[in-house]
Structure 1
């Protein structure tokens, strides 16, 4: 089967890919990102408050392919469906999978399926069916050579098996380098970070990365 999602655009949840490492590991205030407006945010403050929570919207943007709405336009749509919520004290919570799947289906016409209990074998089956998988992993997956600090809390977009069939290719919205933004790992390594849940989407139209 021809892989379409492996050719999907590679996006980061921060507007300047070259600043991702400084933001997520160096403590740089996202408001200092000179390209913040490219995200569709209304202000540097809104961008700084939200960008770190938008790994799921970045995955959706990649899955939608060329011509996808801006990151914050997708966030606005997800908010209308309560796929993100805010506590009275301003704490942002989400992505909430079920309302996200409704949003994706009703607004973007994609058959999104929630997988609350997803095995590694199940991921491979979905990829073989030509679906992409938004998988819940620990953000530490960008350093696979280190012990996994935990499982879950971050979303990456799995696009295909690796050439040997024994691993997975994925796009990481918080990848700090080109090779961690479009990465491939043996399944046994991926499993150390994987929380066993996610959302599958139809493969995106092929496009130039």
Structure 2
């Protein structure tokens, strides 16, 4: 699927877009996702263990455009750069921004810049410069009509301003519907979920139209 307002593909961090809601809100075990092999995972168990942590890799996959590596191939590359780590007890940590940016720049040739103190206005400036922004938000952003439960912990890819200039278009790897996977929100609403940090990337090439 491709966003109608930009040239950036829309992907989900779970292989079956139609099962995202059941997985993230209904308690469905990802091991039941029949399309798990499309992720590049080596087994249903590996897919189920990791997919919920790969919002950042999904953002990268969208940013890379058509022909991007599989989700787990990107994860494997990020692991080599310590953008993800695993504790002795198996707890997965990440995405860690600095090594992620090095990975993206050195392996995929994208000028990735870490922004540790990023305002909502700063997001608009980056978008106006033609960049896209992987931004830290609360996953509750898929329900913007509800109070924000917090800020941060999930990553979405901001692609452009809205037509009136007052809001942002973004792609949400854990969006439960087409409208929440390729979404648009007024900036003050987006800001309620935004943690004030992210990684900016170059804009989409014309070949991704």
Deviation at 1:15, TM superposition (A): 0.1
- Judge conservation of contact 1:115–1:199 (CA < 8 Å) in 2: yes
Corresponding position of 1:139: 139
1:55 maps to 55
User: 1:128-177 CA distances to partner (integer Å, 9 max, x unpaired)?
Assistant: 00000000000000000000000000000000000100000000000000
Q: Which residue of 2 aligns with 1:66?
A: 66
Q: Deviations over 1:24-81 (max 9, x none)?
A: 0000000000000000000000000000000000000000000000000000000000
Q: How far 1:7 sits from its partner (Å)?
A: 1.8
Identify the residue that residue 182 of structure 1 maps to in structure 2: 182
Per the alignment, in what secondary structure is the counterpart of residue 6 of structure 2? helix
Partner of 1:197: 197
1:78-157 equivalences under 5 Å are 78-157=78-157
Pairwise CA RMSD: 1.1
Deviation at 1:23, TM superposition (A): 0.1
If asked which structure has higher relative contact order (CA below 8 Å, sep 6+), I would say 1
* d(CA) in 2 for partners of 1:50, 1:157: 19
| CA distance in structure 2 between the aligned counterparts of 1:205 and 1:155, rounded to whole angstroms | 22
Tell me the SS of whatever aligns to 1:192.
helix
Looking at structure 2, the residues matched to 31 and 164 of structure 1 have their Cα atoms a distance apart, in angstroms, of 42
**Hey, what does 1:32 align to over in structure 2?**
32
| Gap runs ≥5 in structure 1 | none
Is 1:168 the counterpart of 2:168? The answer is yes
Distance 2:17 2:198 in 1: 25
SS in 1 for 2:14: coil
For structure 2, the residue ranges without an aligned partner over 5 or more in a row are none
Contact 1:5 1:63 in 2 (8 A): no
Deviation at 1:5, TM superposition (A): 8.6
